[in-house]
């Protein structure tokens, strides 16, 4: 199977709409770009906001309007914005409590009634104090400011904590990057997207500071960090010299053993090298080099490639179904998989394969049973689950098989570890929701589910996986995006992006890259009619199956016919 470039997820994308990306731009269109991720150009400069201080004689609504504009400047701890506050309010106001992101069009409304000034706007997102993004649906947002005279001028005496920023404000002052933490088995890194203000301290400093603070509240129960508690930067700065980020940590790091020091170094490297001007990291403790066994003093992603969030072995392959048999993909040819799934007796469909290629799962033709077999040791099938109406299986990086069984108007989730017994996953949020499709990330810490809403439209959710005490829970399902209609399939393309099959503005269903940071990207290429399922994975070209039984591969901007068949699948 074609794997055209290292860590490339999908062959080509065209940017069509974006909330906030790594460079926090919000264009409506853009050029076709190649590669693993499509983001706004990294050389686009950060636009520094230079707000105006209060003007003499300003009316209450003018004071509040000036304050809202000044909130976008982080200089001197929002020094200009504080000039609009009374002395007491300036001391108590906490701008770090979170960011309400409001729409620019229509413009926010301010109405003064006596000493109260009422703000009404459309909220499009909320950025938590931990940098996590929660998309909103543009619902009406209201807040109140109280003003009084101080020194003969109107000033705000009661102000809500946090910031109120427009899309443009966020584009000017914030950037989206991923922190990296470990799966519970500490074998793979998991990206944790955060939005950080980078106007003053710089992105490297902001990222390291956020990494040391730990994962976002949403992801925290599902991951671990190797940093000992209390670890901090010796000086609140991460300078960059000739592409090398110099990270000087407190002596708390020395409490970690050699293996944890290796892991924390990997977390730093994979996080900071997301920056366009950083290729390497040099780690010191109180100014002295932190020496690690078998690792150079200056490290990069290659140093810690064993923890790559997108790691797949060279043996990873793709599968598809044809006339009840499961077939392996070999570049432009295919062969039946050895064993019962490949001889046609089971009438299998909807295959899944483990990253190492050793475990294969599939459904019966009617979706009532899921089976598995060891690909390298052909033998009788193992019945994983007999269900009511099973969605296509998914296999995570630890070779655990995930299944969604649709019962009535709800769904039950099941997982079978490779060397364990199947167990039901606690997922109360899906008890009364119909899952169209489900796919676990390679890290097994997150699961994407596509559910059918009351309006019969697909809604994309991501939940965290929490294990402990012999139980597995799928928790805190959150919406990723709501701008696409008729979503009907999803697949992970990298550790921080999915590809979903949906439509917008009346166009036929097409693939869209969906970032877990809220970005939406349309996959470039000629329109392919009749798509009904997709397959994507790190380093693999995107596959699409059509209703008339064709499997096509995206090659540049063209969909090339590969095989007759259905249900293409990559590891995951």
Cβ–Cβ < 8 Å for 361, 572 = no
Same domain, 412 and 273: no
Domain membership flag for residue 248: yes
Same domain, 239 and 355: no
Q: How far is Cα 551 from Cα 537, in angstroms, rounded to an integer? A: 16
Please state whether 444 falls in left (phi above 0), alpha (psi between -120 and 50) or beta. Answer: left
Q: How far is Cα 361 from Cα 341, in angstroms, rounded to an integer? A: 9
Q: What is the CATH number of the domain that holds 143?
A: 3.10.450
Looking at 276, 307, 338, the residue that finishes a domain is 307
Same domain, 336 and 473: yes
Domain membership flag for residue 281: yes
pLDDT in tens, the chain (572 residues): 545 333 333 333 332 233 433 333 322 222 223 223 323 333 345 566 688 999 999 999 999 999 999 999 988 899 999 999 999 999 999 999 999 999 988 889 999 999 999 999 999 889 999 998 887 877 899 999 999 999 999 999 999 999 999 988 898 888 889 999 999 999 999 999 999 887 656 889 989 999 999 999 999 999 999 999 999 999 999 999 999 999 999 999 999 999 999 999 999 999 999 998 999 999 999 999 998 988 999 999 999 999 999 999 988 999 999 999 999 999 889 999 998 999 988 999 999 999 999 999 999 999 999 999 998 877 789 999 999 999 999 999 999 999 999 998 899 999 999 888 999 999 999 999 999 999 999 999 999 999 986 666 788 999 999 999 889 999 999 988 777 888 899 999 999 999 999 887 778 889 999 998 877 777 867 788 999 999 999 999 999 999 999 999 999 889 999 999 999 999 97
pLDDT for the residue numbered 48: 63
Domain membership flag for residue 6: no
pLDDT for the residue numbered 38: 27
Count of domains for the chain = 3
Domain membership flag for residue 25: no
> What is the number of other CB atoms lying within 10 angstroms of the CB of residue 256?
18
Domain membership flag for residue 203: yes
pLDDT for the residue numbered 250: 97
Sequence-ordered list of residues with C-beta below 8 angstroms from that of 376, at least 6 positions apart, any chain:
357, 358
pLDDT for the residue numbered 1: 55
By C-alpha distance, which of 32, 68, 234 is closest to 156?
Answer: 68
Cβ–Cβ < 8 Å for 531, 30 = no
pLDDT for the residue numbered 21: 37
Same domain, 64 and 128: yes
> What is the number of other CB atoms lying within 10 angstroms of the CB of residue 258?
11
Written as six digits, the tokens of 513 are 């890259």
Q: What is the CATH number of the domain that holds 450?
A: 2.120.10.30
Sequence-ordered list of residues with C-beta below 8 angstroms from that of 311, at least 6 positions apart, any chain:
188, 305, 442, 538
By C-alpha distance, which of 339, 305, 303, 299 is closest to 319?
Answer: 339
Looking at 138, 172, 206, the residue that finishes a domain is 172
Same domain, 212 and 121: no
**Domain span at 205:** 174-307
DSSP per-residue string spanning 322-375 = ETTEEEEEETTEEEEPSSGGGSSSS-EEEEEE-TTS-EEEEEETTSSEEEEEET
Same domain, 261 and 325: no
Cβ–Cβ < 8 Å for 320, 561 = no
Same domain, 178 and 166: no
pLDDT for the residue numbered 39: 31
Same domain, 162 and 180: no
Domain membership flag for residue 13: no
Domain membership flag for residue 45: no
Same domain, 261 and 324: no
Same domain, 302 and 448: no
Looking at 157, 172, 187, the residue that finishes a domain is 172
Q: Tell me the pairing of strands 189-197 and 240-241.
A: unpaired
Same domain, 245 and 271: yes
Domain membership flag for residue 539: yes
Same domain, 377 and 460: yes
**pTM score:** 0.86
Q: How far is Cα 259 from Cα 226, in angstroms, rounded to an integer? A: 9
pLDDT for the residue numbered 42: 34
């Amino acid at each position: 199977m074609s794997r055209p470039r290292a860590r490339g997820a999908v062959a080509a994308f065209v940017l069509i709409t974006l909330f906030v990306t790594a460079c926090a731009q919000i264009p409506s269109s853009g050029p076709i770009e190649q590669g693993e991720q499509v983001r706004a150009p990294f050389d686009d400069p950060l636009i520094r906001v230079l707000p105006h201080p209060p003007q003499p004689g300003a009316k209450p609504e003018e004071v509040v309007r000036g304050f809202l504009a000044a909130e976008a400047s982080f200089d001197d701890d929002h020094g200009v914005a504080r000039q609009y506050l009374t002395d007491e309010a300036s001391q108590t106001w906490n701008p770090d409590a979170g960011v309400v992101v409001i729409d620019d069009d229509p413009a926010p409304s301010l109405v003064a009634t006596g000493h109260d000034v009422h703000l009404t706007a459309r909220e499009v997102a909320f950025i938590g104090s931990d940098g996590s993004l929660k998309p909103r649906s543009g619902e009406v947002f209201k807040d109140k400011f109280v003003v009084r005279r101080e020194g003969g001028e109107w000033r705000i005496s009661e102000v809500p904590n946090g910031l109120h920023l427009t899309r443009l404000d966020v584009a000017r002052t914030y950037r989206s990057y991923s922190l990296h933490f470990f799966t519970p088995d500490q074998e793979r890194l998991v990206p944790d997207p955060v939005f950080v203000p980078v106007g003053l301290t710089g992105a490297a400093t902001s990222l390291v500071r956020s990494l040391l603070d730990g994962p976002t509240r949403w992801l925290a129960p599902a991951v671990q960090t190797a940093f000992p508690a209390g670890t901090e930067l010796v000086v609140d700065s991460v300078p960059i010299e000739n592409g090398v980020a110099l990270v000087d940590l407190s002596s708390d790091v020395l409490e970690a053993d050699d293996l944890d020091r290796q892991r924390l170094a990997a977390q730093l490297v994979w996080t900071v090298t997301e920056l366009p001007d950083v290729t390497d990291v040099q780690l010191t403790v109180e100014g002295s080099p932190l020496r690690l066994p078998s690792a150079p003093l200056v490290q990069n992603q290659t140093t810690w490639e064993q923890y790559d969030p997108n790691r797949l072995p060279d043996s990873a392959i793709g599968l598809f179904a044809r006339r009840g048999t499961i077939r392996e993909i070999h570049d432009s040819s295919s062969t039946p998989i050895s064993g019962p799934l490949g001889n046609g007796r089971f009438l299998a469909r909807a295959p899944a394969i483990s990253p190492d290629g050793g475990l294969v799962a599939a459904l019966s033709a009617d979706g009532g049973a899921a089976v598995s077999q060891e690909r390298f040791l052909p033998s009788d099938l193992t019945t994983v689950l007999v269900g009511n109406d099973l969605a296509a299986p998914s296999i995570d990086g630890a070779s655990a098989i995930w299944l969604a069984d649709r019962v009535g108007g709800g769904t039950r989730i099941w997982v079978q570890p490779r060397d364990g017994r199947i167990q039901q996953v606690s997922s109360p949020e899906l008890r009364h929701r119909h899952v169209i499709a489900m796919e676990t990330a390679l890290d097994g810490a997150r699961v994407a589910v596509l559910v059918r809403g009351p309006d019969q439209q697909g809604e994309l959710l991501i939940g965290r996986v929490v294990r402990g005490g012999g139980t597995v829970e799928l928790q805190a399902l959150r919406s990723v995006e709501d701008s696409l209609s008729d979503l009907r399939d999803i697949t992970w393309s990298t550790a921080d992006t999915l590809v979903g099959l949906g439509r917008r503005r009346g166009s036929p269903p097409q693939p869209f890259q969906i970032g877990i940071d809220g970005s939406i990207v349309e996959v470039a290429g000629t329109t392919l009619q009749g798509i009904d399922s997709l397959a994507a994975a790190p380093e693999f070209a995107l596959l699409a199956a059509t209703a008339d039984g064709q499997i096509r591969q995206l090659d540049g901007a063209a969909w090339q016919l590969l095989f007759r068949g259905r249900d293409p699948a990559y590891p995951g």
